[in-house]
Amino acid sequence: MSIWETIIFSLIKILIIVHVMLITVSYLVYFERKISAWAQNRLGPNRVGWKGLLQPFADVLKLLLKEDIVPNQANKPIHTLAPLLALFVAFTTYAVIPFGPDLKIFGYTIPLVVADINVGILYVLALTSLGVYAITFAGWSSGSKYSLLGGIRSSAQMISYEISMGFSIGGVLLLSQSLRPEAIVASQSGWMWNAILQPIGFITFLVSAFAETNRLPFDLPEAEPELVGGFHTEYSSMKFAGFFLAEYANMIIASALIVTLYLGGWQFPYLETFGLPYGWYVAISVLTFLFKEALLLFFFIWVRWSLPRFRYDQLMNLGWKVMFPLSLLNIVWVAGLIMIFKI
């Protein structure tokens, strides 16, 4: 493949992924509202369009028409930068997540991942840590005490949970012996899913992912009843929508990461032994990925509407005294598995 062909294919893949992400985000908001309604024995949005399916577009239009307010006390450049940074982080992380096997079409072999780089997981970790800046900037630059408290909480929370997140990934890396997402997926063929081999690591990563995405039960940076919305108290219009978008995009990233690292990625267990034609194989693999992802997203929303928020000291206790030792234990466990079974 020449350089031009690579660029064109990459552009097409980027366009497809960005659009799929945007539409998924808007419908995630819809499903968030629907599932919350179902959990509370209500019906949820059902007025705009058939079964309320046009609701997300109405919401976006409403937000676009709102006045964009920047407080007097705000540090204006940073106040504007923060939502953009949040969005940037949310969307660029997706570049390294593989969502299917190589696609063979018109004599080309196209890997179904935007950038197949060998430090993929490191890249994801680096970018998600960058996400803290968006929230801290937003909190600090707003010139409001509630925002500042939200920003501080967010940075403390992210730092504490990033540690257990990193260490639980350590277990995965020991097994796959590579930082390439593709190699990690390949190391989980059949039922050798990391979630089954290292359940402790799976749970610590899952919990840290909830904390990293600021979702309930760890949504302390927002904490509506205490902080009036936390870091986005002083945001309105499309800047607020930017944070909203980023939150849901982060949810998608987090579940994509969990699928890739722990649930076998795009692999349908033992699909290659069924002897299907290659096109079908690719299609089923991509669908499997989407299905796993959808289940996890449902889980994210389901947890939000079931569990109460942690108190700040409980959050820190859980992060440092429970999650961190558990993720270390997981590394020992995986190392033991490798020593005994030579996998």
Partner 1 sequence: MADKRRKKDLTFLERIYIPEIIKGLLLTLKNMLKPKFTMQYPEEKFIPGGSYRGRPVLVQEENGEERCVACGLCSRVCPALAIEVQAAETQREKERYPEKFEINMIRCIFCGFCEEVCPEEAIVMSKDYELAFTSREDAIYGKDKLLVPVHQLKDRIEFLRSYK
Candidate segments 83-91, 175-183, 301-309, 331-339, binder of partner 1 by CB under 8 A: 301-309
CA distances in angstroms from 233 to 221, 229, 334, listed in the order given: 11, 5, 43
Radius of gyration for the chain, computed over Cα atoms and rounded to the nearest angstrom = 21
Candidate segments 32-40, 85-93, 107-115, 186-194, binder of partner 1 by CB under 8 A: 32-40
Contact status: 73 vs partner 1 (CB under 8 A): no
- Residue 36 or 155 having the CB closest to partner 1: 36
Site map (CB under 8 A) of partner 1, residues 256-295, x = contact:
----------------------------------------
With contact defined as beta carbons under 8 Å apart, do 297 and 28 qualify?
A: yes
- Considering CB under 8 A, how many residues would be counted as binding partner 1? 13
Site map (CB under 8 A) of partner 1, residues 93-132, x = contact:
----------------------------------------
User: Smallest distance from the beta carbon of 124 to partner 1, in angstroms?
Assistant: 26
For 104, phi then psi, to 5°, come to: -105, 110
For 172, phi then psi, to 5°, come to: -65, -45
User: Smallest distance from the beta carbon of 318 to partner 1, in angstroms?
Assistant: 9
- List of residues 6+ apart from 40 with CB closer than 8 A: 305
User: Smallest distance from the beta carbon of 303 to partner 1, in angstroms?
Assistant: 7
> Which residue blocks in the chain are alpha helix, DSSP H?
3-39, 55-65, 76-92, 120-141, 145-176, 181-186, 194-197, 199-212, 224-227, 237-262, 278-304, 312-317, 324-341
Contact status: 306 vs partner 1 (CB under 8 A): yes
Neighbours of 325 (CB within 10 A): 13
Query: Which pair of structure tokens corresponds to residue 61?
Result: 């239009």
Element (H, E) at 104: strand 103-105
Candidate segments 18-26, 37-45, 141-149, 259-267, binder of partner 1 by CB under 8 A: 37-45
User: Smallest distance from the beta carbon of 5 to partner 1, in angstroms?
Assistant: 48
Contact status: 41 vs partner 1 (CB under 8 A): yes
User: Smallest distance from the beta carbon of 266 to partner 1, in angstroms?
Assistant: 27
Single residue of 2, 40, 109, 273 touching partner 1 by CB under 8 A? 40
Single residue of 27, 38, 88, 320 touching partner 1 by CB under 8 A? 38
Max Cα-Cα span within the chain: 66
Contact status: 303 vs partner 1 (CB under 8 A): yes
DSSP assigned state of 117: -
- Residue 238 or 303 having the CB closest to partner 1: 303
User: Smallest distance from the beta carbon of 163 to partner 1, in angstroms?
Assistant: 19
The span from the CA of 219 to the CA of 229, in Å, is: 10
Single residue of 42, 62, 76, 311 touching partner 1 by CB under 8 A? 42
The span from the CA of 334 to the CA of 100, in Å, is: 27
Is the omega angle on the peptide bond into residue 217 within 30 degrees of 0, that is, cis? Answer: yes
Contact status: 305 vs partner 1 (CB under 8 A): yes
Contact status: 302 vs partner 1 (CB under 8 A): yes
Residue 191, SS3?
Answer: coil
Binding site for partner 1 (CB under 8 A): 35, 38-43, 203, 302-303, 305-307
